[in-house]
Amino acid sequence: MPVTSVEKDLDQLTLTIVADFTAPVRRLWDAYTDPRQIERFWGPPTYPATFFRHDAHAGGRSLYSMTGPEGDVHYGCWDWTQADAPHSFEVIDRFADEAGVPNTDLPASRMGFAFAETNGGSRVTTTSHFDSLEQMQQLIEMGMLEGTRQAMAQIDQVLADLAAFATERRAEAQILSDTQVRVARVIRGTVDQVWRAHNDAALMKRWLLGPDGWSMPVCEVATAVGDSYRYEWQRDGGEERFGFTGELLESEAPYRAVTTEAMIGMDFPATLNEMTLTEVEGGTLLSLVITYANAEQRDAVLATGMTDGMETSYQRLEGLLQPTLA
């Protein structure tokens, strides 16, 4: 089992858990900051986790659920207070509701994660800070310590599964709930480059084209929260045309952007698109969580081949970024 020591300090009101792994520090760090990976071990085996939001930077937020064997669902959220990749990060861990609103009736804790090299690989030291002895005891009695032990026992398998998160992997869609889908892809480029590629109209016209044979004659970018955007594509040599419009709701350059998206000329409900960019080994992890009105709309959009079109665009983007990186 990875956990090598557990120390309770009743004077400092801390609980410190040390776990050792044979993988490099960078690999361990990425396992915690990539939502596809952390949700494979954050919850104990009987309470698997799903991360609906995971902003691995200071000022960011995470929202996750853990589903029990009886179908009971419990939500939690992190407020990121510090992040120093790949060395350490700190969050305020709270119980929450489905929307991410903290439950103030239950105790919160401040959690620090420190990553360090060892002779055999890497070590993560997790230190939880509590406001009172009563809060500390309450969380331990609720199973915090044993749940952490069980969760960490799963990390070895995640770290060994290098192929599952290799940069060669194509964009793929993962269903998170009846209304939510996450599309994830590691793009060979820096976070700043990938952010600019989504906000520079001239650059977007060169890569955001989907399958070959289309151009982007209209690319009006929203530059400030509250602004509207409009994108239109046209088939080469023909009159077939379609497009999307929406509003920029949030923008935290170069890490996160939230927009609405509605198809021009159609009555389908608008979606909510949450894009997060995270530095990982090999490039930038682009994570796009799309919220639909219902499962029927979700399935209809996925059936169009949306993910394949996105993959073609991301391959085209990497072709533009590679000469810059060389």
Task: Reply yes or no on whether the pLDDT at 167 is more than 70.
Answer: no
Strands 88-96 and 214-220: unpaired
Q: What is the spatial distance between Cα 303 and Cα 173, in angstroms, rounded to a whole number?
A: 11
- Of residues 33, 326, 34, 318, the one with CA closest to residue 188: 318
Amino acid at 21: F
Average of pLDDT values for 43-62?
94
Q: What is the spatial distance between Cα 16 and Cα 125, in angstroms, rounded to a whole number?
A: 7
Average of pLDDT values for 153-164?
77
What pLDDT is attached to residue 141? 87
Task: Reply yes or no on whether the pLDDT at 179 is more than 70.
Answer: yes
Strands 241-252 and 88-96: unpaired
Task: Reply yes or no on whether the pLDDT at 149 is more than 90.
Answer: no
Residue 26, burial from CB neighbour count under 10 angstroms (0-12, 13-18, 19+): middle
- Of residues 201, 163, 133, the one with CA closest to residue 282: 163
Strands 283-291 and 256-263: unpaired
Domain-wise residue ranges, the chain? 3-162, 172-325
Exposure of 203 in the CB half-sphere (CA atoms within 13 A) = 14
The lowest-confidence range among 135-149, 205-219, 233-247 is 135-149
pTM of the model: 0.91
Select the CATH number that applies to the domain covering 3-162 from these four: 3.30.530.20, 3.40.50.300, 3.30.70.890, 3.50.50.60. Answer: 3.30.530.20
Residue 250, burial from CB neighbour count under 10 angstroms (0-12, 13-18, 19+): exposed
Contact 111, 90 (CB under 8 A): yes
172-325: CATH homologous superfamily? START domain (3.30.530.20)
**pLDDT tens-digit readout, 116-139:** 999 989 999 999 999 999 998 888
What pLDDT is attached to residue 150? 83
The lowest-confidence range among 60-64, 166-170, 248-252, 285-289 is 166-170
**pLDDT tens-digit readout, 90-110:** 999 999 999 999 999 999 999
